[in-house]
Structure 1
């Protein structure tokens, strides 16, 4: 075992032993090579099943980085461009002033359709055609391209339908054929999880002291918290469809293509990011020129949905407040505390998957990230 692997293993063992985490995975690539693949704790405490390196976790919005990668691979192949109007591929989407919205606007969350109907249920989210029809007929909250605002669920359907219209294949199939298959991780990274694989997944749980938001609480916050506001019956946060542990453990949700999130191992998503920056196992997903394009800030400012400062490239957040923060850092984090980020300056990818849902708390990722970057040495 290398020193950096041992150091990381000791750190995550301590997180589990101190009951900060239940089960987790850490994977790190450096210059195209896997240098850390560490696991600790339990995937399913009800039956004592341990976490293994190939245990997939529902990582909520960390999966958005995977969705974006699929789009970039298609752009690399010439199937679509960033400036292709969405309505050129998907005519229905052009309704109500969205006719000039482009693929670029989707990727940097400026397309202006961050919400879903307020009464959306988890079962609704599993119905691809129904969700796409509703989103296509939506009136944008702002003129596409003029502002940025995080699209929690709609991002996955818009990007996924662009993929389907451009290729004739659902995004889960394109992911497998163009990304995970070539990288050798098709059994560790999914949108819709095959029924035969559901028994392998980690079971998520709420962190101790965590508070599940009720519809009444969300209604009360709608006037003060931008994320919960309602616009003509639409909201970025439908109360019944928030990504709680219970939501992420539902078999219908896990089995459906909902590519605003994803189910994956830390080492699989880390391998994907590594293959965006370098050749990995003979595979490089996009050119170095395209890498520079997608990791350059395309829009920034106060996010219209979260109310927080945001800087976005194409499909990835740029920078991540904490010890790793840098304009050369790109990736996505999930609402439950998971994250996967890559640094183009160092060629390093750090991915953390875990099953204790710590909403908005990325202390585990920051702790591991700081430890790893110190161990790897100067930039």
Structure 2
């Protein structure tokens, strides 16, 4: 059992207990969790190891790739532009990105990108990792792609394409890639330790991602059952811990999947939503814009994830609603985003709660990892 460091208010001692239990019972290697209530930290804990060899302790400032938990900050970029009147969520994507009208996509709206309903869940042609690192090539292929289903009718998880689709709209409006826009508008002014991609100077702080043999076997079994659209979304190109530990992955701009940050940073970013647009005394979004983020677009069985989650889901305008299954606590209108393998950002404006959880031993699932769920349950038990 590694030494757990940080602080935890007495009222939230159950969060510390759950965090410790993740190491004892759920094969945690290194991890951190931060819980904010009304913007104030009530738990900020870390422990374990930042590498497989267990030579580097997980420190307060350890960074880690959080996979799709990055989608929340990417969505925030679009909502800031919408709040300023620079982006109309009901406008055709082609109004900002004319090339996107190809292959019958002229009527696809910006809200369809945010809610994974555009039909462009991934390229139809094989797409290599090296090509994924090329922003211009990847966005050009997505702009030319035929939708996998009728846009706007159903959600189908856009695992990697999401960040390029939303991000290219941000770039067309601002001239900035979403990582730079986020830095200028949010993380820089607020001092939030989160980047899309990893600056080379921070390489010494980043944790090594690890996949256990049991998780690898479970993933292989799931991949064997995938439909063509699921393969396009999740496996085109194939990625994983080995790729994400490489300098090329870390240096690239992959807004849906290669955000790097601390648990404290994830809690702060999702805390903007929990705070109804305010964070650290600053207004980042108007209250109306912050509320619009969780505007549901319809519950359905996701066309990419299928029965993988075992239930219907509802994606709002960039994040997932907790819904009746309680992925983000008992409030069905709480919302957030998980990252492959376990990480999570959570926002609950009614409770004033924001949570960030990051780790480096990846579980087999895309969402609702048992370690994350134990922490979420402990938070709500304390309220």
- Same fold (TM > 0.5): yes
**Which of 287, 311, 318 in structure 1 is aligned with 2:321?**
318
TM-score (norm 2): 0.89
Unaligned ranges ≥5, structure 1:
229-234
**Which of 190, 197, 203 in structure 2 is aligned with 1:198?**
203
TM-score (norm 1): 0.90
State the shift of 1:209 in Å.
1.7
* Cα distance in structure 2, aligned partners of 1:351 and 1:215: 28
Residue aligning to 1:304: 303
What SS does structure 1 have at the residue aligned with 2:88? coil
| Residues paired across the two proteins, number | 365
1:43-87 per-residue CA deviation (whole Å, 9 max, x = no partner) reads: 124362111232111111111111101111111122212112211
What SS does structure 2 have at the residue aligned with 1:366? helix
Shift in CA distance, 9/326, structure 1 to aligned 2, threshold 3 Å: closer
Residue aligning to 1:168: 175
Kept after mapping to 2: 8 A contact 1:71/1:159: yes
**Which of 238, 241, 247 in structure 2 is aligned with 1:245?**
241
Q: CA RMSD in A?
A: 2.2
**Which of 17, 22, 25 in structure 2 is aligned with 1:15?**
22
* Cα distance in structure 2, aligned partners of 1:340 and 1:316: 10
1:258 equivalent to 2:254? Answer: yes
Which one is further off, 72-81 or 15-24? 15-24
Residue aligning to 1:281: 280
* Cα distance in structure 2, aligned partners of 1:292 and 1:273: 13
Residue aligning to 1:37: 44
* Cα distance in structure 1, aligned partners of 2:361 and 2:101: 40
What SS does structure 1 have at the residue aligned with 2:299? strand
* Cα distance in structure 2, aligned partners of 1:280 and 1:58: 23
What SS does structure 2 have at the residue aligned with 1:311? coil
What SS does structure 2 have at the residue aligned with 1:297? coil
Residue aligning to 1:221: 225
5 Å-filtered alignment, 1:144-163, equals 144-163=151-170
Kept after mapping to 1: 8 A contact 2:273/2:349: no
Unaligned ranges ≥5, structure 2:
1-6
What SS does structure 2 have at the residue aligned with 1:353? strand
Residue aligning to 1:142: 149
